[in-house]
Amino acid sequence: MSAVPVVVLVGPMGVGKSTVGQLLAERLGVGYRDTDEDIVAAEGRTIAEIFVDEGEPVFRAIEKRAVQRALAEHDGVLSLGGGSILDADTRALLAGHRVLYLSMDVEEAVKRTGLNAARPLLAVNPRKQWRELMEARRSLYEEVATAVVATDSRTPEEVTQVALDSLELKEA
Ligand code: S3P
């Protein structure tokens, strides 16, 4: 099966890719898919468990394959795990796709993800870890994005509306 997603969502963990992605899919009348969910379903364990059991490099290899597969199979809205853009092949694969980068600032990030133990990369010192993470990743998100929507102080519904407008997507 060969398909092209209507839009691919990228951005840091906790920014609302799943919530906004599902709202976007509803408004566009298409399906929603999330590579984190694909990985959990295929592996039969949580992302945190994969990190703990096997370490980040193994997770990234699993993630890379999951992204390749989803990009080739899914014709609706697709959300990628926050770190998937660290891989150069994945970034190259995103060229030519409609890619929406959902962004947020550090205080918003700590508010949304700070105490969430399911997010292994922010478990110890959320504010510092967040800053370091974004310093390493911001330019990569920008590199793959064809549109950027800031989520700070916006509800998921507002973000969805701004996204539809800036991507010039027609509703179902
Ligand atoms: C990660 C983001 C998570 C998940 C994993 C690593 C990251 O996905 O893939 O915990 O490196 O930013 P979400 O962005 O969907 O939370």
Strand partners, 100: 9, 147
**Is it the case that residue 118 has pLDDT exceeding 70?**
no
Asked if residue 16 has its Cβ within 6 Å of ligand 1, the reply is no
135-147 confidence digits (pLDDT tens): 999 999 999 999 9
Tokens of 39: 């990985």
Angle formed by the axes of helices 126-144 and 106-113, to 10°? 110
Q: Residue 43 above 90 pLDDT? A: yes
pLDDT, greater one: 125 or 158: 158
What SS3 state is found at 70?
A: helix
Put simply, whether the predicted model's pTM sits higher than 0.85 gets the answer yes
Indicate if ligand 1 lies below 6 Å from the C-beta of 5.
no
Domain residue ranges of the chain, discontinuous segments joined by +: 7-165
- For 66-102, write each residue's pLDDT tens digit: 999 999 999 999 999 999 999 999 999 999 999 999 9
Where do we find the tokens 């969805």? Answer: 160
Q: Ligand 1, atom 8: nearest CA belongs to which residue?
A: 81
Q: Kindly indicate whether the domain formed by 7-165 is annotated with CATH number 3.40.50.10800.
A: no
> What average pLDDT score do residues 124-138 get?
84
CA–centroid distance, 91 to ligand 1, in Å, is 16
Cα–Cα distance between 134 and 143 in angstroms, integer?
A: 14
